[in-house]
């Protein structure tokens, strides 16, 4: 069913890991992969190198996270080992005996690969987040994104793109964000944004402006003619903000306005 994996019928247990000092993209990408495996009947564990579970407890499937120091909850042997948002496998030597015969895969958006010990590498260094790569994997293999996958993907992209300020943000990032935004309800989107904002230490006024942009169909546009569509959308929303007393005062802050407008100049089109 999943084209990049070995014979699924032979896979019984999968272990998913990510980098140390986990961020939203690391955790959410792992949880997306865990749900994908669950949906095709593969028992999966997601092991992290910190003991900070509470921070992620609001995310779907976060109860499946196994923290550092809880290795006794891991199975004795895994057939499948996947590292997401990282290629540094050195930190997992202490559990090597559990994965030494496993098929090893890496899904990452970073440009430097730090190991040669893998069976499969899925890498897109141009992606703003690893979750962005997982979007296409899910669409290609299943033709859809579940609600819980959309929640995790939404948080991952917002965080790793730094609310679309990263130089890696391009039309694909906006397109994926628009597609998953259609799946989620407004209550969940507001809550996720606030949690990511707190993690990223984004100022409240900047958050309000970002919130307005991402809740006014800015990213709902067709891929065809995408350059004009995205620019028109930003100009349209900018005009709406400037005519709205609630947001007009924010436009007096030139730094905030520059931050928003710089996002437009950083969108690259193939």
Residue 103 dihedral angles phi and psi, to the nearest 5°: -70, 125
**Which of 242, 142, 150 shows the shortest CA–CA distance to 188?**
150
Confirm if 48 and 28 have CB atoms less than 8 A apart. Answer: no
Dump pLDDT digits (tens) for 168-222. 988 889 889 989 999 999 889 989 988 998 887 766 555 555 555 555 444 433 3
Using pLDDT thresholds of 50, 70 and 90, give the confidence band for residue 3: low
More confident residue, 162 or 247: 162
Q: What are phi and psi of 130, to 5 degrees?
A: -65, -35
Residue 167 φ/ψ, nearest 5 degrees: -65, -15
Angle at 45 between CA 39 and CA 50, to 5 degrees: 135
Residue 108 bridge partners (DSSP): 123
**CA-CA-CA-CA torsion sign (169, 175, 180, 184):** positive
Q: What percent of the chain has pLDDT over 90?
A: 44
Looking at residues 131-155, what average pLDDT do you find?
95
Q: What is the pLDDT of residue 106?
A: 92
- Nearest CA among 64, 72, 68 for reference residue 42: 64
Domains and CATH numbers, the chain: 8-142 (3.90.1640.10)
**First and final C-alpha spacing in the chain:** 30
Q: Residue 258, exposed/middle/buried by CB under 10 A (0-12, 13-18, 19+)?
A: exposed
Nearest to 170 by CA among 223, 110, 215: 223
CB count within 10 Å of CB 13 equals 20
Residue 44 has pLDDT above 70, yes or no: yes
pLDDT at 174: 87
- Is the pLDDT score of 70 beyond 90? yes
């Amino acid at each position: 069913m999943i084209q990049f994996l070995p014979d699924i019928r032979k896979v019984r247990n999968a272990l998913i890991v990510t980098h140390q000092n986990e961020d939203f993209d690391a955790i959410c990408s792992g949880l997306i992969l865990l749900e994908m495996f669950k949906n095709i009947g593969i028992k999966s564990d997601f092991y992290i190198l910190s003991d900070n579970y509470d921070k992620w407890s609001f995310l779907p499937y976060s109860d499946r996270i196994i923290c550092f120091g809880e290795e006794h909850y891991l199975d004795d042997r895994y057939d499948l080992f996947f590292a997401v948002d990282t290629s540094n496998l050195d930190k997992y030597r202490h559990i090597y005996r559990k994965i030494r015969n496993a098929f090893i895969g890496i899904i990452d958006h970073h440009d430097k690969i730090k190991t040669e010990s893998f069976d499969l590498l899925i890498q897109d260094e141009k992606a703003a987040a690893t979750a962005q790569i997982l979007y296409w994997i899910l669409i290609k293999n299943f033709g859809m994104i579940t609600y819980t996958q959309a929640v995790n993907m939404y948080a991952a992209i917002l965080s790793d793109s730094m609310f679309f300020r990263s130089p890696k943000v391009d039309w694909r990032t906006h397109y994926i964000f628009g597609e998953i935004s259609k799946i989620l309800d407004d209550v969940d989107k507001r809550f996720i944004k606030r949690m990511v904002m707190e993690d990223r230490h984004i100022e409240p006024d900047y958050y309000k402006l970002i919130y307005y942009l991402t809740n006014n169909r800015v990213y709902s546009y067709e891929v065809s003619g995408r350059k004009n569509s995205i620019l028109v959308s930003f100009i349209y929303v900018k005009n709406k903000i400037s005519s709205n007393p609630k947001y007009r005062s924010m436009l007096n802050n030139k730094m905030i306005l520059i931050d928003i407008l710089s996002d437009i100049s950083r969108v690259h089109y193939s």
